[in-house]
Amino acid sequence: MNDSPAIKLSALTSKIQQALHNVFAEQSYWVVADVTNHSFYQQKGYHYFDLVEKDTQAGGIVAKVAAVAWGNGATRIKEFEIVTGQPFKNDIHVLIRVSVSYHQVHGLQISLLDIDTSFTIGLLEQQKQQTLLRLTSECADFIRKVGDRYVTKNNQLPLRAVIQRLAVITSGNSAGYQDFRHTLEHNHFGYTFIIDNYFTVVQGEAKAELVQQRLIDIYNSQVPYDAVVIIRGGGAQTDFLIFDTFILGRAVAKFPIPVITGIGHQKNETITDMMAHTATKTPTKAAELIIAHNRGFEEALISMQQNIVIRSQQLFSGHFQELASLNSSIINQSRTLLANHKEELHHIKNTVLQHAAAATLNRHRELIATSNAVLQRPRIMVSNRLNDLDNMVDKFRSFSRMYIQSKRGQVAHYDTLFKLMSPANILKRGFAMIYQDGQVLSNASTLQPGSHITVVLPDASLDATITSKTTTHEPGTDI
């Protein structure tokens, strides 16, 4: 047996306590380590965990020590979680300030005094910048950086005038998805949407391939979606690391359908947001964006409709005035023509009367001459000459009457013709006047499907659009 005198365990632990106190008293150290075996007792506000250091080459543990945080240390952890959005949990890499002490019952104790939030945020941002650099270098054909923004194939796609058919990638039990759908289905404008769900896991970096597969499924469906919406509810910053992955950023940047994101983060912008066509902060904001886009189209359509109505009224008013002027001109010209032809008829009548009087006078002279001759000829010759004279008189009278009737018929014909040529009479016969751009059409050579025309009937003016056109080479009905 050893001749050295034995001591109590408490004496030994007291010596250890004193030795460590002499070395570590009133000192603290900033330590970089990974957190494992974390436990949190909420009622007491105590955190128990292990700090480990791993070999960067082999991955094995080269150092490990138990640690605890309470009081001010627990408060600092809570502040860390609020600022970073990152829960204090296993497998996070942290920079913490600790103190070293030794308790005779509980042994060696490492107490957390403070935690550097900027260190953790910096690591996440550093990983994000490395991913962005990789995207611009390996995918330069469809991703490039211009100033502070990233230009991708996806965000250069034009949005359709109306967004109605949507493919939604989200978690099936996501509250954010319910908010998104509720906002769309209960919009104030009565818009309807066709929503196809592509449910998947949207948390965890390792699940990025699942989201990418859902994009592939949307592409393979061959459904003509107006947009793809990627949404999830809120959460810690590390919950969004799936949206900072290279594989998902590349897939979104190259996707041939506009991608709208509503990932539920308020502070940071993920890589998926940068690569997508349009990024919003929350699922509800994504829905509001789609509704606002459709409302903008509707307002433009209403404005165009109002402009068409106003322009149509202006054109109708102008052409109505022109038509009234043309009607007055036709009436005046018709009256002038009738007056001119009446004078012409009167002149013809006078001419006929003069010619008839002259002819009668000549025949009277011939009659006297013949009478003188008759006195010298036999009675039969006188009788024959009297018959001839009667025939000639009858012929002159008949010629005069027929000549006057013929001229009166011509005047009546002209009068009827001018009345028939009146636009009012033409329209009453079942015809219509067709205008295009304010001009009366005489044929259909300028009309094409989609052309706008105005059809004027006796009692109405109709605006119409040509839907089809058939060219005929036969003459129309000879009315």
Q: Is 32 left (phi over 0), alpha (psi -120 to 50) or beta?
A: beta
- Residues 309 and 267 reside in one and the same domain: no
**Contacts with 62 (C-beta within 8 Å, 6 or more apart), sequence order:** 53, 54, 55
Query: In 3D, which of 251, 33, 230 has the Cα closest to residue 153?
Result: 251
Q: Residue 374 has which token pair? A: 């008759």
**Residue 1 belongs to a domain:** no
**Are 91 and 26 part of one and the same domain?**
yes
Query: 99 forms bridges with which residues in the sheet?
Result: 111
163 and 46 together in one domain? no
The predicted pLDDT at position 236 comes to: 52
* Range list of H helices, 25-142: 72-84, 117-138
Q: How far apart are CA 119 and CA 99, in angstroms?
A: 19
Give residue 206's pLDDT.
Answer: 62
For 435, list phi and psi in degrees, rounded to 5: -115, 145
Per-residue pLDDT of 270-318, as tens digits, reads 889 999 999 998 899 999 999 999 999 999 999 999 999 889 888 888 8
Residue 400 shares a structural domain with residue 450: no
The pLDDT, as a whole number, for residue 239 is: 60
The β-bridge partners of 109 are 101
Q: How many residues does the chain have?
A: 479
- Tally of CB atoms within 10 A around 362: 10
Is the residue at 354 inside a domain? yes
Contact (CB, 8 A) for 166 and 293: no
Band the pLDDT of 56: cuts 50, 70, 90: low
Residue 288 lies in a domain: no
Domain end position, chosen among 98, 115, 132:
115
The domain of 381 spans 298-421
Residue 82 pLDDT class (50, 70, 90 cuts): confident
168 and 244 fall within a common domain: yes
86 with 201, same domain? no
Element holding 49 (H helix, E strand): strand 46-54
Of 61-65, 80-84, 349-353, 391-395, the least confident = 80-84
Q: What percent of the chain has pLDDT over 70?
A: 90
CA atoms in the 13 A half-sphere facing the CB of 356: 18
DSSP alpha helices (H): ranges in 72-193?
Answer: 72-84, 117-138, 175-185
For residues 24 and 80, state if they share a domain. Answer: yes
To the nearest 10°, the Cα dihedral for 250, 253, 256, 262?
Answer: 110
Position 398 confidence tier, pLDDT thresholds 50, 70, 90: confident
Per-residue pLDDT of 211-268, as tens digits, reads 999 999 999 999 999 999 999 876 555 566 788 889 999 999 999 999 999 987 656 6
Q: Do 148 and 269 share a domain, yes or no?
A: yes
Residue 130 within any structural domain of the chain? yes
**Confidence at residue 217, expressed as pLDDT on a 0 to 100 scale:** 94
Mean pLDDT of the chain: 84
CATH number at residue 189: 3.40.50
Residue 103 confidence (pLDDT):
79
Across 189-202, average pLDDT: 91
In terms of average pLDDT, the best of 61-65, 152-156, 168-172, 334-338 is 152-156
Asked if 198 and 230 count as a contact pair (C-beta separation under 8 A), the reply is no
* 115, 141, 174 - which closes a domain: 115
Residue where one domain finishes, among candidates 93, 115, 137: 115
367 and 389 together in one domain: yes
Q: Is the pLDDT of residue 207 over 60?
A: yes
pLDDT band at 154 (very low <50, low <70, confident <90, very high): very high
Is 231 inside any structural domain?
yes
Q: Residue 33's domain is classified under what CATH number? A: 2.40.50.140
Whether the predicted pLDDT of 168 surpasses 90: yes
Per-residue pLDDT at 70 exceeds 70 = yes
**Top-confidence range, 22-36, 217-231, 362-376:** 217-231
- Residue 146, beta-bridge partner list: 149
Distance CA 250, CA 154 (A): 10
Of 192, 285, 311, nearest in space to 232 by CA: 285
User: What local confidence, expressed as pLDDT, does residue 122 receive?
Assistant: 63
Phi, psi (deg, nearest 5) at residue 169: -105, 120
In a domain, 355, yes or no: yes
Find how far residue 477's CA is from the centre of its chain: 47
pLDDT of amino acid 20: 78
The reply to whether 228 and 369 lie within a common domain is no
Residue 293 lies in a domain: no
Specify the pTM. 0.50
Query: Are 448 and 461 in the same domain?
Result: yes
Chain center to CA of 315 = 30
Q: Tell me what pLDDT residue 234 has.
A: 61
Strand partners, 103: 107
- How confident is residue 128, by pLDDT bands cut at 50, 70 and 90? confident
Number of domains in the chain: 4
CA contacts within 13 A on the Cβ side of 290: 31
**Beta strands 61-69 and 46-54: pairing type?**
antiparallel
The reply to whether 2 falls in a domain is no
Q: pLDDT > 90: what percent of the chain?
A: 26
> Other C-beta atoms within 10 Å of 385: how many?
17
Q: Do 414 and 429 fall into the same domain?
A: no
